[in-house]
Chain A
Amino acid sequence: MGEHRIAVTINGERREGTVEARRTLADFLREDCQLTGTHLGCEHGVCGACTVVLDGDAVRSCLLFAVQADGADIVTIEGLGGPDGSLSPVQEAFRSEHGLQCGFCTPGFVVTVTQLLHENPSPTDAEIREGISGNLCRCTGYQGIVRAVRRAAEAGS
Chain B
Amino acid sequence: MTTTQPSVSSHSAGRFVGQSVTRREDPRLLTGHGRYVDDVVVPGMLHAAFVRSDLARGRITGIDVGAAREHPGVHAVLTAADLNAGAGPLQPTMFQGAAPPSPCAPVRLLADGDVRFVGDPVAIVVASSRYVAEDACELVEVDYEPLDAIIDPEQALTEADELVHPELGSNVAMAVPTPPDPELDAIFESAAHVVHETFHQHRHTCVPMEARGVVAVYEPSSGELDIWLSTQNPHEARQVCSRLTGVPAHRVRVRAADVGGGFGQKYFLQRDEQVVVAAAHRIGRAVKWIEDRRENLIAANHARADRIAIDVAVDGDGRMLAARLDHLEDCGSYPMGGTGGVGPFVAMLFPGPYRIGRLGFVSTAVWTNTAGRGAYRGPWMLETVAREQMVDVVARAIGMDPLELRRRNVVATTELPFTTAMGMELDHVTPAETLEQAIEIIGYDAFRAEQQRAFVEEGRLLGIGIGLYVEPTSMGSGSLGVETATVRVQPGGTVTVMLGTGSHGQGVETTMAQVVAEHLGVELDDVVVVQGDTATSPFGAGTGGSRTAVVAGGATREASLQVKEKVVEIAAHLLEAAPEDLEVVDGQVSVRGTPSKAVPLTDVARVAYNDPAELPPGVSPSLEATVSYQAPPITWSNACHVCTVEVDSETGLVTVLRYVVSEDCGVMINPMIVEGQISGGVAQGIGGVLYEHLVYDEGGTPLTTTFLDYLLPTATEVPEIEVGHIETRSPTPGGHKGMGEGGAIGSPPAVFNAVADALALRGATVSAQPLTPTRVLDALAET
Interface residue ranges, A against B (CB under 8 Å): 20, 22-23, 30, 35-44, 46-47, 49, 76-78, 80-81, 85, 87, 91, 94-96, 98, 100-107, 110, 128-130, 132-147, 150
Residues of A within 8 A of B682 (CB): 141
Residues of B within 8 A of A41 (CB): 209-211, 260, 293
Interface residue ranges, B against A (CB under 8 Å): 1-2, 22-23, 25-27, 29-36, 38-39, 131, 207-211, 258-261, 263, 290, 292-293, 504-507, 672-673, 675-677, 679-684, 706-708, 712, 714-716, 718, 720-721, 743
CA distance A47 to B259 in the complex (A): 17
User: Quick one: which of A30, A42, A47, A106 contacts B29, CB cutoff 8 A?
Assistant: A106
CA distance A44 to B297 in the complex (A): 13
Residues of A within 8 A of B679 (CB): 140-144
| B38 contacts A129, C-beta separation under 8 Å | no
| B30 contacts A140, C-beta separation under 8 Å | no
Q: Known interface pairs A140-B676, A141-B718. Does A102 touch B22 (Cβ–Cβ under 8 Å)?
A: no
Closest 3 CB pairs of A and B: A37-B32, A104-B260, A103-B29
Q: From A111, which residue of chain B is reached at the shortest CB distance?
A: B32
CA distance A147 to B676 in the complex (A): 12
User: Quick one: which of B1, B39, B673, B708 contacts A98, CB cutoff 8 A?
Assistant: B673
User: Quick one: which of A23, A36, A87, A137 contacts B209, CB cutoff 8 A?
Assistant: A137
Residues of B within 8 A of A147 (CB): 2
| A103 contacts B707, C-beta separation under 8 Å | no
CA distance A108 to B683 in the complex (A): 19
CA distance A133 to B27 in the complex (A): 24
| B712 contacts A100, C-beta separation under 8 Å | no
User: Quick one: which of A30, A91, A110, A146 contacts B715, CB cutoff 8 A?
Assistant: A146
CA distance A100 to B743 in the complex (A): 17
User: Quick one: which of B2, B260, B714 contacts A39, CB cutoff 8 A?
Assistant: B260
User: Quick one: which of B26, B32, B290, B675 contacts A107, CB cutoff 8 A?
Assistant: B32
Q: Known interface pairs A22-B131, A85-B31, A138-B261. Does A102 touch B504 (Cβ–Cβ under 8 Å)?
A: yes
| B23 contacts A98, C-beta separation under 8 Å | yes
CA distance A145 to B718 in the complex (A): 12
| A100 contacts B30, C-beta separation under 8 Å | yes
Among A36, A39, A42, A135, max chain B CB count under 10 A is at A42
Q: Known interface pairs A36-B38, A103-B258, A136-B707. Does A77 touch B293 (Cβ–Cβ under 8 Å)?
A: no
| A139 contacts B26, C-beta separation under 8 Å | no
| B721 contacts A110, C-beta separation under 8 Å | no
User: Shortest CB–CB separation between residue A21 and chain B, in angstroms?
Assistant: 11
User: Shortest CB–CB separation between residue B94 and chain A, in angstroms?
Assistant: 26
| B680 contacts A81, C-beta separation under 8 Å | no
User: Shortest CB–CB separation between residue A123 and chain B, in angstroms?
Assistant: 12
| B210 contacts A35, C-beta separation under 8 Å | no
Among A96, A140, A141, max chain B CB count under 10 A is at A141
CA distance A144 to B1 in the complex (A): 12
7 further A-B pairs in the complex, CB-CB below 8 A; given A43-B293, A94-B30, A138-B209: A30-B38, A78-B31, A103-B30, A104-B34, A136-B209, A138-B263, A144-B679
Residues of A within 8 A of B743 (CB): 141
| A142 contacts B25, C-beta separation under 8 Å | no
| B131 contacts A95, C-beta separation under 8 Å | no
| A133 contacts B715, C-beta separation under 8 Å | yes
Among A41, A103, A110, max chain B CB count under 10 A is at A103
| B715 contacts A132, C-beta separation under 8 Å | yes
User: Shortest CB–CB separation between residue B134 and chain A, in angstroms?
Assistant: 11
Q: From B262, which residue of chain A is reached at the shortest CB distance?
A: A102
| B27 contacts A95, C-beta separation under 8 Å | yes
Among A130, A135, A138, A147, max chain B CB count under 10 A is at A138
Residues of B within 8 A of A20 (CB): 131
User: Shortest CB–CB separation between residue A128 and chain B, in angstroms?
Assistant: 8
6 contacts between A and B (CB under 8 A): A44-B293, A46-B707, A105-B209, A136-B712, A143-B720, A150-B1
| A91 contacts B721, C-beta separation under 8 Å | no
CA distance A104 to B740 in the complex (A): 18
| A103 contacts B712, C-beta separation under 8 Å | no
Q: From A102, which residue of chain B is reached at the shortest CB distance?
A: B505
Residues of B within 8 A of A95 (CB): 22-23, 26-27, 30
User: Shortest CB–CB separation between residue B260 and chain A, in angstroms?
Assistant: 3
Residues of A within 8 A of B1 (CB): 150
Residues of A within 8 A of B684 (CB): 138, 141
| A103 contacts B25, C-beta separation under 8 Å | yes
| B32 contacts A36, C-beta separation under 8 Å | yes
Q: From B1, which residue of chain A is reached at the shortest CB distance?
A: A150
Residues of A within 8 A of B707 (CB): 42, 44, 46-47, 136
CA distance A41 to B1 in the complex (A): 30
CA distance A140 to B746 in the complex (A): 16
CA distance A23 to B132 in the complex (A): 12
Residues of A within 8 A of B714 (CB): 132-136, 142
CA distance A35 to B680 in the complex (A): 28
Q: From B707, which residue of chain A is reached at the shortest CB distance?
A: A46
Residues of B within 8 A of A36 (CB): 32, 35-36, 38-39
User: Quick one: which of B29, B681, B683, B716 contacts A133, CB cutoff 8 A?
Assistant: B716
| B209 contacts A91, C-beta separation under 8 Å | no
Residues of B within 8 A of A81 (CB): 30-31
| A47 contacts B209, C-beta separation under 8 Å | yes
Q: From B708, which residue of chain A is reached at the shortest CB distance?
A: A46
CA distance A115 to B534 in the complex (A): 41
User: Shortest CB–CB separation between residue B398 and chain A, in angstroms?
Assistant: 35
CA distance A102 to B27 in the complex (A): 12
CA distance A110 to B707 in the complex (A): 21
User: Shortest CB–CB separation between residue B744 and chain A, in angstroms?
Assistant: 10
| A98 contacts B260, C-beta separation under 8 Å | no
CA distance A20 to B681 in the complex (A): 42
